[in-house]
């Protein structure tokens, strides 16, 4: 571990410092992203070493600062997240080699590349930290670096506001995280995670419940759970594409890591059933609302940001189900739920990073994020279209992709609630499964819109007509993630045993031999008699059916002369104005869920002078009401501003008065301490 960690630190530090030592943009690009790619490769090896290690690997360096120890611990849980972060970081670094040329005249390539190295390194160290004080420092560094990267194009309208919104929300979350660690440290007597795991005396039930909620709020703000998700659709679109990919693909997963660490490690998996039910309920609401709001978005990156909320919800569905089963002593089912949540964690990291890189490639070629201005890009950008399609079918959970496998396992873990002794949970978990099914259907519609409107039909604007394929390095970065999506879907026999090494120590039981059957070719939820599926066989059947259809078509088409002609358009030449728009595509869903969306519709019509029955021009705009911002955040902000306005009276500009405030405060603190 020490050697690999040294190499990893060297790669990221050199990748962060060397670009600042030269003024040549091309050399800065090579040094920064070459260092990040080398660090990613080293991190992949480090993660695999940690997964296969017989015992957790530790490294500790004491400091003179009270409570602070530079302690690192590579156990299977940390190793899994190191592997996930490093794989996404490797792909994003290679992609950035070609992508950052877009920013050559608007930002320093050396600075952006240096910050990228620091960002990926901070995420890696966050999941390795084994001291609460050290964790908080790294968490803050990760948050600040991501903020600076979000505001890379700070001169653009709305970018600074998006960055500020993100910064406020992440620090609100940090305050609750600090409170969580303070609760643990009061009983443990230190900020060491090892003392958190093995305190001299167990936390009282009341404090345990407080720690549960503070951790859920603190880390949930970073993960983007509803209603703490409001920063995602602002910050993710504002950042450069490769940074958006890392923020959505892996940064928000550090919060998932921390929740599992707190609930299953620090609290040793001892908790009441309602903790799991709370996590499950938040996951169900986040999944459904995330995909519903994504459907209404026509900014491609905002659409993907809302899908991060959806997929965090799906991950929490698996974790919440695992917590419920664990509370009732059904350890195999608990391991299944946790394994399903972790499987979807790495799957989402791969396909969401891929989709953000694909969106960045489309923006690179067209200079717009508006789906309504795309169209016909598949002919002009075939590789980007292919990779984006892989990501789209993966996030839509179509078989045999990786998204299908993990969502199927989450679904099965929810259906297995029949084994729970409580009638309420026997009913509520299947309801959560129904919400997951609805979420999957809406996600399919959303990405049919995203891919169809962007890559098919005719170009709707000059931007789309002038688009060309992106540089090779960008295609390689997307190709790595697309290949990962395919591998994770077709080879669960490789993934499940690795995940079992993570869930086994946390739940006390190994289940890979019960989840996999027929030498790993079949995946089953603990028992093959309940249900089972084989993605390799599904893939073979789909490929075979396609080849058989092609063969039949060729046989029947022998001797038939092919004719090529334009599509018939009722005697009129086909134009882009005749195509479905993204707005029109989701109109039926908007009407079905009108209560949630609360849309405002603006209709402008201009008729011909000769007759009021014939339109010359028509324009439709609709706006959905952001419910949480309108009814939760804005009233709170107004109250805070009103209180701040009242408190302004104490700020009179008198130094003597300020010194008096300090003196009175010190006296009161001394009296309270005495």
User: What is the per-residue DSSP string for 208-275?
Assistant: HHHHHHHHHHHHHHHHT-TTTTTTHHHHHHHS-HHHHHHIIIIIHHHHHHHHHIIIIIITTT---HHH
The mean per-residue pLDDT over the stretch 415-427 comes to 89
- Are residue 509 and residue 598 in the same domain, yes or no? no
The mean per-residue pLDDT over the stretch 113-122 comes to 96
Q: Is residue 533 part of a domain?
A: no
The mean per-residue pLDDT over the stretch 454-466 comes to 91
- pLDDT reading at 613 higher than 80: no
- Are residue 368 and residue 505 in the same domain, yes or no? yes
Q: Is residue 78 part of a domain?
A: no
pLDDT confidence of residue 632: 87
Which pTM value belongs to this model?
Answer: 0.93
Instruction: Write the DSSP assignment of 277-324 as a string of letters.
Output: HHHHHHHHHHHHHHHHHHHT--BHHHHHHHHHHHHHHHHHHHHHHHHH
- Are residue 500 and residue 649 in the same domain, yes or no? no
The mean per-residue pLDDT over the stretch 589-609 comes to 81
455 sits in which H/E element: helix 423-455
- Are residue 476 and residue 433 in the same domain, yes or no? yes
Please state whether 526 falls in left (phi above 0), alpha (psi between -120 and 50) or beta.
left
Q: Is residue 437 part of a domain?
A: yes
pLDDT confidence of residue 527: 64
- pLDDT reading at 528 higher than 60: no
pLDDT confidence of residue 581: 84
Q: Is residue 217 part of a domain?
A: no
- Are residue 600 and residue 644 in the same domain, yes or no? no
pLDDT confidence of residue 558: 78
Q: Is residue 606 part of a domain?
A: yes
For residue 529, name the pLDDT band (cuts at 50, 70, 90).
low
Boundary of a domain, candidates 505, 528, 551: 528
Q: What is the dihedral of CA 548, 553, 559, 565, to 10 degrees?
A: -150
**Distance from C-alpha of 16 to C-alpha of 6, rounded to nearest angstrom:** 15
The mean per-residue pLDDT over the stretch 394-403 comes to 93
- Are residue 308 and residue 382 in the same domain, yes or no? yes
pLDDT confidence of residue 54: 87
- Spatial contact of 536 and 400, defined as CB atoms under 8 Å apart: yes
For residue 627, name the pLDDT band (cuts at 50, 70, 90).
confident
- Are residue 306 and residue 452 in the same domain, yes or no? yes
Which domain does 612 fall in, by range? 593-623
- Are residue 422 and residue 452 in the same domain, yes or no? yes
pLDDT confidence of residue 200: 75
Q: Is residue 370 part of a domain?
A: yes
- Are residue 321 and residue 384 in the same domain, yes or no? yes
What's the total number of domains in the chain?
3
Boundary of a domain, candidates 601, 623, 645: 623
For 557-580, the pLDDT digits (tens) are 777 777 888 777 777 778 887 888
For residue 370, name the pLDDT band (cuts at 50, 70, 90).
very high
The sign of the dihedral angle between the CA atoms of 262, 250, 85, 279 is positive
pLDDT confidence of residue 63: 84
pLDDT confidence of residue 674: 64
- 448 half-sphere exposure, CB direction, 13 A CA radius: 11
pLDDT confidence of residue 321: 95
- Are residue 495 and residue 610 in the same domain, yes or no? no
Boundary of a domain, candidates 623, 643, 661: 623
pLDDT confidence of residue 360: 95
Q: Is residue 72 part of a domain?
A: no
pLDDT confidence of residue 104: 78
- 153 half-sphere exposure, CB direction, 13 A CA radius: 18
- Are residue 302 and residue 416 in the same domain, yes or no? yes
- Are residue 619 and residue 636 in the same domain, yes or no? no
Q: Is residue 50 part of a domain?
A: no
For residue 249, name the pLDDT band (cuts at 50, 70, 90).
very high
pLDDT confidence of residue 484: 96
The mean per-residue pLDDT over the stretch 201-213 comes to 89
pLDDT, the chain, mean: 91
């Amino acid at each position: 571990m020490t050697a690999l960690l040294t190499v990893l630190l060297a790669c990221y530090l050199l990748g962060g410092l060397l670009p600042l030592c030269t003024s040549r943009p091309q050399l800065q690009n090579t040094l920064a992203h070459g260092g990040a790619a080398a660090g990613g490769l080293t991190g992949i090896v480090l993660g695999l070493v940690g997964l296969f290690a017989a015992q957790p690997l530790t490294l500790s360096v004491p400091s003179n600062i009270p409570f602070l120890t530079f302690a690192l611990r590579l156990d299977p849980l940390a190793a899994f997240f190191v592997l996930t972060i490093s794989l996404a970081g490797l792909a994003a670094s290679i992609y950035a080699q070609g992508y950052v040329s877009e920013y050559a005249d608007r930002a320093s390539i050396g600075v952006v590349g240096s910050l990228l190295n620091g960002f990926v390194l901070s995420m890696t160290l966050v999941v390795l930290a084994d001291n609460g004080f050290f964790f908080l420092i790294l968490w803050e560094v990760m948050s600040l670096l991501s903020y600076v990267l979000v505001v890379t194009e700070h001169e653009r309208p709305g970018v600074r506001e998006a960055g500020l919104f993100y910064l406020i929300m992440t620090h609100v979350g940090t305050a609750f995280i600090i409170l969580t660690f303070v609760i643990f440290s009061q009983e443990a007597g230190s900020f060491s995670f090892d003392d958190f795991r093995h305190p001299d005396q167990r936390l009282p039930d009341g404090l345990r419940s407080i720690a549960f909620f503070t951790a859920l709020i603190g880390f949930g703000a970073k993960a983007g759970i509803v209603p703490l998700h409001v920063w995602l659709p602002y910050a993710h679109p504002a950042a450069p594409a490769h940074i958006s990919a890392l923020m959505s693909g892996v940064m928000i997963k550090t919060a998932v890591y921390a929740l599992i660490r707190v609930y299953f490690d620090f609290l040793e998996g001892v908790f009441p059933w309602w903790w799991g039910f709370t996590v499950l309920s938040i996951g169900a609401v986040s999944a459904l609302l995330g995909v519903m709001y994504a459907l209404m978005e026509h900014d491609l990156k905002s659409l993907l940001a809302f899908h991060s909320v959806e997929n965090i919800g799906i991950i929490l569905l698996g974790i919440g189900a695992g917590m419920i089963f664990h509370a009732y002593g059904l350890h195999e089912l608990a391991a299944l739920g946790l394994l399903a949540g972790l499987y979807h964690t790495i799957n989402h990291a791969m396909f969401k990073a891929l989709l953000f890189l694909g969106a960045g490639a489309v923006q690179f070629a067209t200079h717009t994020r508006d789906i309504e201005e795309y169209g016909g890009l598949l002919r002009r950008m075939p590789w980007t279209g292919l990779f984006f399609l892989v990501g789209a079918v993966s996030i839509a959970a179509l078989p045999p992709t990786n998204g299908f496998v993990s969502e199927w396992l989450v679904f099965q873990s929810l259906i297995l609630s029949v084994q729970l002794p409580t009638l309420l949970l026997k009913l509520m978990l299947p309801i959560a499964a129904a919400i997951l099914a609805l979420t999957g259907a809406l996600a399919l519609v959303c990405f049919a819109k995203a891919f169809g409107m962007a890559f098919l039909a005719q170009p709707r604007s000059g931007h789309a007509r002038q688009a060309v394929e992106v540089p090779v390095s960008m295609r390689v970065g997307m190709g790595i993630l697309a290949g990962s999506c395919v591998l994770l879907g077709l080879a669960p026999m490789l993934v499940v045993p690795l995940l079992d090494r993570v869930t086994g120590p946390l739940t006390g039981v190994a289940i890979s031999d019960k989840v996999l059957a027929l030498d790993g070719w079949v995946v089953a939820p603990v028992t093959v008699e309940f249900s089972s599926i084989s993605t390799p066989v599904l893939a073979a059947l789909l490929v075979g059916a396609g080849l058989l259809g092609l063969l039949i078509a060729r046989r029947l088409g022998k001797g038939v002369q092919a004719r090529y002609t334009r599509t018939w358009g009722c005697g009129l030449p086909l134009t882009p104005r005749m195509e479905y728009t993204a707005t029109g595509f989701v109109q039926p869903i908007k009407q079905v869920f009108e209560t949630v969306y609360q849309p405002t519709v603006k209709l402008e019509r201009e008729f011909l002078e000769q007759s009021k029955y014939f339109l010359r021009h028509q324009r439709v705009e609709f706006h959905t009401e952001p419910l949480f911002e309108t009814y939760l955040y804005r009233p709170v902000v107004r109250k805070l501003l009103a209180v701040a306005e009242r408190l302004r009276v104490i700020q009179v500009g008198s130094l003597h008065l300020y010194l008096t405030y300090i003196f009175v405060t010190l006296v009161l603190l001394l009296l309270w301490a005495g």
